[in-house]
Amino acid sequence: MNKLLLAFDTPSDLSALLLGAFSDARQVSFAELGREDAENYDALAVLGGAEDMPVILGGRARIVLERFRELGKPVFVEYIASVGELYAGDPKRLSHHRMAYVGGDFAQLACGDLFDPHYNELIPYYGSAENAVPILTCHPYLNAHDRCELPPEELLKGESALWITNDSTLICAFRLANFNLARLAPVANWQTLIKHIVRWLAGTGIEVEFPRPICRHVPDTPDSEVIAAGLRWFREAGMLINGGADGVREGFLHHIDAKDGKQLRTNQVRADCTGEVGGAFLFDWLLRGNRESKRIADACEDYVFDCLQVKDGVFAGMVRWSESAWRVCYQDDVARAIMPTLMRALLDRHADGRRRFADACHALDFLVATTGSDGLRVPRTDCWQLDEAGMEALRNSGGHRSAHYNAWYLAALLFAHLAGETRRGYLEVAEKGLQTLMSVYPDIIRIQTQTQETARLVLPLALLYKATGKPNHLEMLHRVCADLEKWRHPSGGILEWDEDYRGTSYGVQGGECGLLARNGDPVCDNLYTNNWLLVGYAWALHATGDPVFAKCWDKTAAYLRLAQIHSADRNLDGGWTRAFDVSRNEIYGMPHDIGWSPCCMETGWTIAEIIMGFQLRRLLDKSYGE
């Protein structure tokens, strides 16, 4: 085996892997590299990806580096500002980029296999490397799940990310050092590539032992442990502000710093996230009598109604979208903010079971007052564009025929009706809105995908049947649930699907974008599809008593148990991300969305909704004695 000289200042995943793989390796700092003799070693690796900036080697170290190259010995440089005739410009931040393999027989990979570098940095080099053979090229917005079908000549037009020169120098222009901490995906592709880099340095097929992935996925975890880990995540990941009294953060963005694996936490406080997280703790109180959970639930509920609800004037009752979008109202987000309060009125037998129920109805009254004649609302209302005449115009027009913007608003109306608020016409509005949507179903407006719109309909249709008992409403519920089964994967997850790719977010560049590249891709969305289903199926089972919905719940729960993260990192353990690849059992998908890409972790939409779904199956049995 070759003797390796390994230079780095900050230890990393890659330095540990190399030291473990080479039985004869000497570790030095960048400064100490200048005191070494290239004649004493067979290969050199210089790792800069764990440093703050691309590493500029000092003159003595640079002389040693160039001596290795003159001797034709294998040299691997990672995130180094200059080598040979190349020198670096300012690093370029990657966010919607992926890398494509174009390296031929360098590794056991196919041309077009994709690599997600996450929120990495790429060095653009000035100068040219003679007879360079590219291995990875970097591209923005590759509309493919895991392999790009572009011709090789098109893939070669991307920015150079990894290449080998004719003098046995392998140059990595991005941060690879902490490949595990940074959760580079898909794991198998990166491990295959790294294994071949190590073997190229060694000149032989040595064994390479990879660290255990930061995120693990374990099937068949007991539901009590799934729920407990999820509730713990809110506290340990720092999502509760002052214990919920000042709201709940929106979550973690997709952006994972490739230098150290830190994921960017948002500072945004939204009404929906705060209300939904409060709901998860509320259900814990109702199931287990945990008084600390009740305190958090009450604090979240109070924040929504005391801080984010308009109390008087033309917009009385309106719940603001967030602390920054102060004069904006999205009805489906409002619905999710107040739905725990509405469900509490149905499920909580304690003296304060109708706590803040009047405030929730006040919020619904504003929404009803701005609902169109077809029972639907426009996607959002903005106060600065709205007065009494504008509100009247909304009532006399039609709404937006999508489940994305209306389904859970209509469900909230039905919850309030079922909780005894029968005088305000909530049932009539909800029935009209759902009849409008189902009159054009499945050709409703699709925002993300067909599966996303369909999944959104399960809950309101279940509640509609519970409220009316009408056979046609039961028929609509069964139709929607049967359609979802067409897209169910053996794991239990619902795959992303859109029959004719009509979703307005399909393939978008520079805006909100779905995870779907092609129908049949093994990707599940836990932000817009699977996250809604446990709550919906639980209420469908309760409303009908039909075991078919128990089976639907069971299959979805099996998938979500698998997709939950198990990790030593307390910012990750117990949570769920947006994307999950069910062929690889890992977090992976197209990173095109402007903020909520595959690795994002949404407190409300995803994690709280999933936890509430696990809790509701038990809670409905307990509350109604079934």
The Cα 243–Cα 261 span in angstroms is 26
Q: State what percent of residues in the chain have pLDDT above 70.
A: 99
Q: SS3 sequence, 469-528?
A: CCHHHHHHHHHHHHHHHCCECCCCCEECCCCCCCCCCCCCCCCCCCCCCCCCCCEEECCC
Task: Judge whether residue 559 has pLDDT over 80.
Answer: yes
| Bigger pLDDT: 624 vs 478 | 478
Handedness of CA 613, 272, 380, 365 (dihedral sign): positive
The Cα 617–Cα 626 span in angstroms is 11
The CATH number for 223-373+397-624, chosen from 3.40.50.920, 1.50.10.10, 1.10.260.40, 1.20.1250.20, is 1.50.10.10
Within 13 Å and on the Cβ side, how many CA atoms surround 99?
33
Give the SS3 label for residue 83: strand
CA dihedral 297→301→303→304, nearest 10 degrees, is 140
What is the chain's alpha carbon radius of gyration, rounded to the nearest angstrom?
Answer: 27
Band of the pLDDT at 167, cuts 50, 70, 90? confident
Q: What local confidence, expressed as pLDDT, does residue 626 receive?
A: 44
Q: SS3 sequence, 226-238?
A: HHHHHHHHHHHCC
Q: What local confidence, expressed as pLDDT, does residue 624 receive?
A: 65
User: DSSP string of 264-284?
Assistant: EEP--BBHHHHHHHHHHHHHH
The Cα 513–Cα 506 span in angstroms is 6
Neighbours of 454 (CB within 10 A): 26
Say if residue 128 is exposed, middle or buried (CB neighbours under 10 Å; 0-12, 13-18, 19+): exposed
The Cα 56–Cα 561 span in angstroms is 46
The Cα 450–Cα 391 span in angstroms is 31
Task: Judge whether residue 131 has pLDDT over 90.
Answer: no
Confirm if 418 and 470 have CB atoms less than 8 A apart.
Answer: no
- The hierarchical CATH code for the domain 4-202 is 3.40.50.880
The CA-to-CA distance between both ends of the chain, in Å, stands at 68
Q: Which amino acid is at 412?
A: A
| Bigger pLDDT: 594 vs 232 | 232
Q: What local confidence, expressed as pLDDT, does residue 1 receive?
A: 63
Question: Residue 182: which of 101, 247, 102, 94 has the closest Cα?
Answer: 94
Give the SS3 label for residue 164: strand
Kindly report the average pLDDT of the chain as a whole number: 96
356 to each of 280, 298, 334, 340, 436, how far by Cα in Å?
17, 9, 14, 10, 31
The Cα 431–Cα 467 span in angstroms is 10
Task: Judge whether residue 625 has pLDDT over 60.
Answer: no
For β-strands 251-256 and 114-115, DSSP reports them as: unpaired
The Cα 142–Cα 162 span in angstroms is 18
Band of the pLDDT at 130, cuts 50, 70, 90? low
pTM (two decimals): 0.97
Task: Judge whether residue 523 has pLDDT over 90.
Answer: yes
Q: Which amino acid is at 403?
A: A
Say if residue 484 is exposed, middle or buried (CB neighbours under 10 Å; 0-12, 13-18, 19+): buried
Confirm if 381 and 399 have CB atoms less than 8 A apart.
Answer: no
Confirm if 555 and 204 have CB atoms less than 8 A apart.
Answer: no
Q: Which amino acid is at 365?
A: D
Q: What local confidence, expressed as pLDDT, does residue 574 receive?
A: 98
Domain boundaries, the chain: 4-202, 223-373+397-624
> What average pLDDT does range 141-156 have in this prediction?
96
What token pair was written down for 599? 């690795």
